Amino acid sequence: MLLGDERVRIVECCRRMAAAGLTVGTSGNVSERRGELVAVTPTGVDYDRLAPEEVSVVDLVGGSVEGLEPSSELPMHLAVYRATDAAAVVHTHPLHATALSTVADELPGIHYLVMRLGGPVRVAPYARYGSTELAEGSVRALEDRSAVLLRNHGATTYGATLAQAYERAELLEWLCALYHRASQLGTPSILGDAELAEAAAALSDYGQHP
């Protein structure tokens, strides 16, 4: 089985994503790249019964190599791989991130952890799911960021590993939920460029260093 480890990780990630409420039904999709091949969730398969061998494997232009028919959002995944150094992409339909995408042009600096995503997260213009326009708009809004909100649709994150891409998806939803809750209480205080830059510098050296 081609990309066996990647396909197993994708199944595990999909189930984790569903359990966390980041998707509804069979919505959302996940991919991981190795070399010239990409493993990606198949279209319309319930995550509870998805098996690794059913995960699609395609080449970098979308040609089917193995597994079931790939997700309709394959163009967006491939566009992210072409435009960034991503090794994995996670596309979700979480409640707070999707709600924010309908009323704002960006998730502002509500918390210093937004710098884990590269800064305030832009909202890409609406385009039909699975379309080239959506893929192109997503990549433009991802410039210098590792996360994007998709107008009236959902969110996409990427990372150097599938675990990192998923963690960024969870962080993005937490930040959107925080902004929503703060907005209900009053007018949120938003961190300025200098404060965010200072936080980014501190975060770059945060954690254990072997």
- Residue 210: per-residue pLDDT: 59
Over the chain (210 residues), what is each successive 10-residue block's mean pLDDT?
97 96 93 98 95 98 97 98 98 98 98 98 98 98 98 98 98 98 98 97 73
| Beta partners for residue 90, in sequence order | 30, 157
Q: Which helix (H) or strand (E) holds 168?
A: helix 162-185
For 174, what's the count of Cα atoms within 13 Å in the CB-facing half-sphere?
Answer: 13
- Residue 208: per-residue pLDDT: 52
- Residue 26: per-residue pLDDT: 87
Specify whether the CB–CB gap between 164 and 88 falls below 8 A. Answer: yes
Output the CA–CA distances (angstroms, integers) from residue 33 to 4, 119, 152, 156, 173, in the order listed: 12, 25, 27, 16, 24
- Residue 205: per-residue pLDDT: 77
User: Which residues are tagged catalytic?
Assistant: 73
Q: What is the pTM of this model?
A: 0.96
Amino acid at 63: G
